[in-house]
Homo-oligomer: A and B are copies of this chain.
């Protein structure tokens, strides 16, 4: 059983075959699937699963903090199961592939007080852009 699934059971998540399949599809590293892609893979294992259920389940996983929403291109949101470890993303401008990366240092350090306009700044998301080895 996957890590994610184990944690969800530990939280008393009501388990159904649909939820199990969605959680299984979202296992692994560098996984950044759109809701439609999650649905497509879920359907292979459970042909009757509906689009609504996938959306509901993804939304719940996000609320629980187990999965993060990533939108690197203004198109469909992507779902990243690696939400517990803070990380950023490196995106290929050619093919769109996404890698999880762990920059060094505190990203908030680069924003001096006079650039904060009185905001209480709590976090930063960084999207690095470039070309992957195949596209370069």
Q: Mark A residues whose CB is within 8 Å of B.
A: 69, 71, 73-74, 77, 90, 92-93, 99, 101-105, 107-108, 110-112, 115-133, 136
Cross-chain contact A119 with B132 (CB below 8 angstroms): yes
Cross-chain contact B104 with A117 (CB below 8 angstroms): no
Report B-chain residues with C-beta under 8 Å of the C-beta of A118: 132-133
Q: How many copies does the complex hold?
A: 2
Name 29 interchain pairs, CB-CB below 8 A, sorted by A: A71-B73, A90-B117, A92-B119, A99-B117, A99-B119, A101-B111, A101-B117, A103-B111, A103-B112, A104-B111, A104-B112, A105-B110, A107-B126, A111-B128, A117-B133, A118-B132, A119-B131, A119-B132, A120-B130, A120-B136, A121-B128, A122-B129, A122-B130, A122-B131, A123-B128, A123-B129, A124-B127, A125-B127, A126-B127
Looking at the assembled complex, report how far the CB atom of A2 sits from the nearest CB atom of chain B, in whole angstroms: 24
